[in-house]
A and B are shown apart, each in its own frame.
Chain A
Amino acid sequence: MQIAARPFEGWTILDVSGDIDLAHSPAMRKVLLGEIREKHTKIVILNLGAVRYIDSSGIASLVEGLKASRDQGSRLILYGLSKTVREVMELSRLQRIFEIYDNEEQAVSSEGHK
């Protein structure tokens, strides 16, 4: 898994690629919580377009990020979910609690951004 931070109009877009599994979810969790809790970024957007696989530990990291963003009064947005990632979201019945968009254009222009 690789994760790269990209600034965008005061927010941060995190481009994630590869597999978010037991070996790699701690790294994603650390970056995600660092953006939210330490850098106090108001809006963190996760680009999951190049994620091939996510397991329950990856989902747990996303849930933790969402809870942290709510605690901080910020927002966590996801976009570009592959069929595999979307299936796991649906299995865990978590797709309704996340703010999810199809692509970056929709994510950055969603209500409250501009």
Chain B
Amino acid sequence: MIVRGKAKKQKITKSAMTRAGSSASDFLLKLELESNPESLCLVRATIERTTETLHFEPAETRAIVRAVDEALANVVRHAYKGQRGQPIQLTCRRLRSADTEARAKGIEIILQDSGVALDPAKLKGRPLDEIRPGGLGLHFMRQSMDKVEFSRSQGQNQLRLVKYLAPAKPEKTQGD
């Protein structure tokens, strides 16, 4: 697995962010990995630390890790049909808000693979009332993230996952 860190931060001025509307993003890291199930634990550990540094709560961190893990498992199992050694790229960006520059607004994670095109009909997941193995991965992703967007371009599948930071809770004072 190749890791490319935040060596070069995108230059985004306050005025540019304001012009763009309400948000912009900073590059955090890029992982280049192969479609081997053993790689998933390395990605989970990386995503866990990344989300912690962005001040996500422990439950939110677990949710993001779960979504990314399930997304990667889907790429391995469905896009590459279990074939090992195929390329997967994962990119993380910090989403910023123009009026909360001091604090991250959220995280955007993009997965790209060159596997077979996804069948939109199979992206529904299965009804939870059915008690049978399988079909839970997509449900976990949608439950865990604010945005789950699939697309295909130039022979590549792309999955965009977004999780926003919950608004900061007011600090408790003595007597609360």
Task: Give A residues with C-beta under 8 Å from B.
Answer: 19, 21-23, 53, 55-57, 59-61, 63-64, 67, 83-84, 87-88, 91-94, 97
Contacts and interface: CB of A to CB of B under 8 A. Distances in A.
A101 to B, nearest CB: 20
B17 interface: no
Interface in B48-75: 59, 62, 65-66, 69-70, 73
Contacts of A84: 62
Contacts of B59: 87
Interface of B: 37-38, 40-41, 44, 59, 62, 65-66, 69-70, 73, 76-77, 128-129, 131-134, 136-137, 139-140, 143-144
Which 6 residue pairs spanning A and B have beta carbons closest together? A60-B133, A23-B37, A56-B136, A22-B37, A56-B137, A22-B73
Contact of B131 (A21, A23, A87, A94): A94
Contacts of A83: 62
A91 B139 contact: yes
Contacts of A91: 136, 139-140, 143-144
A22 B77 CA distance: 9
27 contacts: A21-B37, A21-B40, A21-B41, A22-B37, A22-B40, A22-B73, A23-B37, A23-B38, A53-B65, A55-B66, A55-B140, A56-B70, A56-B140, A57-B73, A59-B133, A60-B136, A67-B132, A87-B59, A88-B66, A88-B140, A91-B139, A91-B140, A91-B143, A92-B128, A92-B139, A92-B140, A93-B128
Quick one: which of B65, B128, B140, B143 has the most chain A CB within 10 A? B140
Nearest to A66: B131
**Main SS at interface, chain A:** helix
A97 B130 CA distance: 11
A23 B41 contact: yes
